[in-house]
A and B are shown apart, each in its own frame.
Chain A
Amino acid sequence: MLTAAELEIIALSLKVALFGLAASLPFAIAIAFLLARKDFPGKTLFDAAVHLPLVLPPVVVGYALLVLFGTQGPIGRLLEPLGIVLIFRWTGAALAAAIMGFPLMVRAIRLSIEAVDPRLESAARTLGAGRWRVFFTVTLPLAASGVITGALLAFARALGEFGATITFVSNIPGETRTLPLAIYTYTQVPGGDAQALRLSIFSVLLSLAALAFSEWLARRRHPADARHA
């Protein structure tokens, strides 16, 4: 029922979204923890910067990435000798997707970390656990639902990413043409409506599957709590 072309588009979309998610999740957790638990100078500014992709037009984010990561850009110039080129590559699409989903992820994780009673962390320390152990054995497990929610939001956002992607890495079949870009392309050619519709339906199914998976994950983590909820 799926054509080879469709399969390629869907696989690429999943690859971009999952890769972007996996690469950004540790940073999102670290930043969420900083924002939830620490006070430092410039925190408000930092918080605003993290949220910027949420409020900026995606095209602006894509253009900023183009300027920064282009082969002549300040970061792109540094990465090129290392063999890392993001522009016009699927990895660039993953970066764009990760950045657009990042604020959503940080927000959800931060809220769930803030909901963890800091006295539980103190109690763990008096029992002999160092800061890192407390984080991994108390804070993170108790914030797991927020991490799952954040990851789902970011994943869904990544699957739908359009503006920043097309601006930064263009619309290259097989390399950067993810689902939204493919749908857009089909709507631009005569007679492409049927294809656009098919891909839209796959898009919906994929998002629903992600939602169901995160629900299952959340339930599996806390079977007892789910039973008593």
Chain B
Amino acid sequence: MLEVDIALRRGSFALQAAFRSDAPIVALFGRSGSGKSTIVNAIAGIVRPQRGRIVIGERVLFDSDRGIDLAPEHRRVGCVFQDALLFPHLDVRANLAYGERLTLPAERFVDRERIIALLGIAPLLHRRPANLSGGEKQRVAIGRALLASPRILLLDEPLASLDGARKAEILAYIELLRDEINLPIVYVSHAIEEVTRLADRVVVVAEGRVVAEGDTADVLSRPELNAASGRSEEGAVIDARVASHDPRFELTTLAFAGGELVVPNVDALPGEQVRVRIRARDVSLALERPSRLSIQNVLEASVVSLGGEYGAIVDVELRVGATPLAARITRKAACDLGLVPGQRVHALVKAVSIDRRSVGFA
């Protein structure tokens, strides 16, 4: 259980954040400058809050009322930063050993050989950080943090400086860690796909405050999170189960409360739980069920509300059975269709708009 309740002020920036989580992966989600990094730095002990309390499990790391402020080296918090921050004067082996050597043998719970194998860094051991690619650096940084046997792992935008292919690679390693090593992870990101894919619980941070907190599908479907995620990213996250695979067309059918969804092949067994993110701008609306159509997903929905009275764009909040969905259409289209709350509509979702990156495994 991670409990954070802190306040700090630095110049014109004020942070006041409180949340708790006992999820395997909790995401701190928000735009850059929102205060996410300050929160993880406070957990790590690099930044000292003016007031508050930070507890991991039974251990109080910081409590201003009781005058507790553990030094970073006594917190046992593993950190991985955006730019890895490997020690440039040490080779990979020495980087990995740095924290491990400082951990009492009795407190070590990770096995070096296993971590090296898990992260695939055995061929890199004798290299210097300057001779590693961005993805390799991040893997070594994750290994270095783990080998210090931390109680919690903080990943601060670990993918932000990587290209697409490297991002996917590191994401897969993080999923592997979550499944193989029983260690709570705090994942800081401004990318909604990463959060959808990894996190079980999301804390949304904006302008130094927690504006939403809860289960991933729940929180990321809330329309009021525009400010945190950026307009074009708005959408809904659906909890679903893999129903079947269609090997001939390489499609997967997902079942959720309210219907079924056909998407390009998902790498999961039938019955497995997944999270799917559907962006509002990928959803179209029709009053009647259209026929002879390339769109694979036609979902029966009802209009819950129409957002905004001005501008060219309207966000329509829908419900498919019990599941919320959002559609972004033009005001003209909404007018032409005469949309009103309570109305029955058909929501059209192109299967190809849901790619590998928008599906996460619960």
Chain A residues in the interface with B (C-beta under 8 A): 117, 119-120, 122-130, 133, 137-138, 141-142, 222, 224-225, 228
Contact = CB atoms under 8 A, between A and B. Distances in A.
B89 A128 contact: no
A125 B46 contact: yes
Contact of B102 (A119, A129, A222, A225): A129
9 contacts: A120-B87, A122-B44, A126-B72, A126-B73, A127-B102, A129-B98, A142-B87, A142-B89, A224-B130
Interface in B80-95: 81, 85, 87-89
A39 to B, nearest CB: 15
A125 B46 CA distance: 9
Contacts of B89: 141-142, 222
A128 B102 contact: yes
Contact of B81 (A119, A124, A228): A119
A222 B99 CA distance: 22
B102 A126 contact: no
Nearest to A128: B102
B105 to A, nearest CB: 13
B129 to A, nearest CB: 10
Interface residues of B, number: 28
B77 interface: yes
A120 B83 CA distance: 10
Nearest to B74: A128
Residue among B88, B131, B144 facing the most chain A CB atoms (10 A cut-off): B88
A130 B85 contact: no
Contacts of B20: none
Contacts of B98: 124, 127, 129, 137
Contact of A122 (B72, B76, B128): B72
A126 B144 contact: no
The 4 A-B residue pairs with the shortest CB-CB distance, nearest first, are: A127-B99, A128-B102, A125-B72, A123-B85
Interface in B122-176: 128, 130-131, 144-145, 148
Given A122-B46, A123-B87, A228-B131, 19 more contacts: A119-B81, A120-B88, A123-B79, A124-B87, A125-B45, A125-B46, A125-B71, A126-B44, A126-B79, A126-B145, A127-B98, A127-B145, A128-B148, A129-B102, A130-B73, A133-B102, A137-B98, A141-B89, A142-B87
Contacts of A133: 102
A123 B77 CA distance: 10
A129 B81 contact: no
A226 to B, nearest CB: 12
Interface in B39-56: 41, 44-46
Given A120-B85, A228-B130, A127 B71 contact: no
